[in-house]
Amino acid sequence: MKKKVILLLLCSLGITGFSYTLNYDNHLSKEIPTFSKVEKKSPEKIEEQQKETPNSSEESKVEQFDLSTLDKKEYSWYFAPNTPPEAEPYKEKYDLYYEGDNTKKEIYITFDCGYENGITPKILDVLKENNVNAAFFITSDYLKTSSDLVKRMVDEGHVVGNHTNKHPSMAEKAAQGREPAYKEIQELERKYEEALGKPMEKFFRPPMGKFSEASLALTKELGYKSIFWSNAYKDYDVNAQPAPEPSKALIKKRMKDGGILLLHAVSKTNSEILDDLIKEWKADGYEIKSLRDLPDYN
């Protein structure tokens, strides 16, 4: 009788340990479980834990907001100097940035990259010659057609940020629910990691500057800082490029301490004035910084 009891106990322990090992492998955990912590789980409990645990391709969330309580009205970010007043209450709550430290002579240069038209290599050359790190916000189409340039951006120390999968209004996506908004961000994350073998940095620029409280909240849930701007001009129309000298003068006039400059990498004018802008700002005592240097709100 005693032999039967011992045999049954050993079988029970073996089955329990096997169940835990399957669960451990499925979650790709780096913790090595000890025998003393083995717990027999029902199939229902294992399935529930798998749903709760993100797989290796998912990003951890900072916190989840109650979407039913958040404003879903769409706002548009304007060119400087008109900052939407609706954004002010959201800065610290949702990690929204349109400037850095406005008490210091520092500048942040950022580019939006929806497609490539042969201008970006010259922009990268100018940045490299001047030892300046900028930020490039890309879409999935840009990554697909210009992965060599994206790799160069990374290799030369620039931030490559998320400009969504298909460039929609994120306010509209957020109004549809959490998953449609997540998908726009996470699809590009996945493609970027497949192409470059590393995760994308957590900087996000909403397409067209369109946002809502809900879209900002969902962006923060995925661990991102939302990067807007305090200085921009109409540089994106490749068929109606503004003259270089007036454009340079306008950008310099609008630049404030801590300013974040938005440029489009398809602009021939930008490629012609960027070197002068950088040199003149440096001569005026400005430091051109990376988005990685942005001050945290918390």
Positions marked catalytic? 112, 264
DSSP character string of 29-74: ------GGG-----HHHHHHHHHHS--TTSPPPS----GGGS----
Strand-pair category, 75-76 with 210-211? antiparallel
Question: Which letter does DSSP use for residue 99 in this model?
Answer: B
Burial of residue 130, with CB atoms counted within 10 A of its CB: 0-12 exposed, 13-18 middle, 19 or more buried: middle
Number of Cβ within 10 Å of residue 235's Cβ equals 22
- The pair phi, psi for residue 231, each rounded to 5°, is -155, 125
* Phi-psi map region of 75: left, alpha, beta (phi>0 left; psi -120 to 50 alpha): beta
Can you list the alpha helix ranges (DSSP code H) found in 224-295?
244-254, 268-283
Tokens 């998908």 correspond to 183
φ and ψ of 97, to 5 deg: -130, 135
Between helices 178-196 and 147-155, what is the axis angle to 10°? 80
268-283 and 244-254 helices, crossing angle to 10°: 50
Q: Are 208 and 172 in contact (CB under 8 A)?
A: no
Report the distance separating Cα 55 and Cα 27, nearest Å. Answer: 7
